[in-house]
Amino acid sequence: MWADLLVQEIIRTRGGAGQVVNDAWSPSGYAHIGSLKGVVLHDAITRGLRERGADVRFLYGFDDYDPFDAIPPYLDAARFTPFLGMPLVDVPAPEPGAESFGQFFGLRFVEQFRRLGCHPEVYWGSTLYRGGRMNEAIRRVLDQAEQILEIDREISGSQRTERHPLQIICEQCGKIATTVITGWDGRAVSYECRTGKVAWAEGCGHAGRRSPFDGAAKLIYRV
């Protein structure tokens, strides 16, 4: 079986101690059936490693600090339009029983994969950022922004024009998708919340300066 071959290769090249199997998903609406693929495949790898005595943790994360970039067709567009561009954790849940939009849809996905017998340790991106767990990574990214963006261009062919591979939350409107960081002095970033940065959300035009730590910012995809 493919999982057995992969597990054998992992143990051969990395040993059996301290293995981590990790997957993640952005909870921007109901998960479609294809979203289960990652959970099931990683669960099979985890089981295979454990059967061979490996010390392994299986994690599943919800990227609820990603921006709310589209309103699902089964929700009221008028109600949710004002929240486009904000982190999913700051968008209200469509129904009672959850603290946010991201948590509402994330918990429903958890229910589904647990019914299949998959039981990873669940974590939330917002908890990592707001709890300061990502602070050191954010500092490294800002200090080495030019090198990181060059690597991104070489590997992915990215045409990004931003000078800093980080998204900051606007202090005035709360949006993260509409901001552009224009400077970093080692303590705080300067930024602009632009009205035309993306087609699906409108920035407020605010320009400011703030610390990027403890939940004020998130790393861009792939970084």
pTM of the predicted model, to two decimals?
0.93
The number of beta carbons lying within 10 Å of the beta carbon of residue 146 is 11
CATH entry 2.160.10.10 includes domain 2-130: no
pLDDT in tens, 134-167: 999 999 999 999 999 899 888 888 777 778 999 9
Instruction: Parse the chain into domains and list their residue ranges.
Output: 2-130, 135-219
In the chain, which residue ranges form alpha helices assigned H by DSSP? 2-14, 36-51, 77-80, 101-115, 125-130, 135-143, 145-156
pLDDT in tens, 21-66: 999 999 999 999 999 999 999 999 999 999 999 999 999 999 999 9
Q: Which of 130, 90, 146, 124 is nearest to 212 (CA)?
A: 130
pLDDT at residue number 160: 73
Average pLDDT of the chain, as a whole number? 95
Q: 3-state class of 31 per DSSP?
A: coil
Q: What is the mean predicted confidence (pLDDT) over 185-211?
A: 97
Q: Band of the pLDDT at 172, cuts 50, 70, 90?
A: very high
Rg (CA), the chain: 19
pLDDT at residue number 223: 86
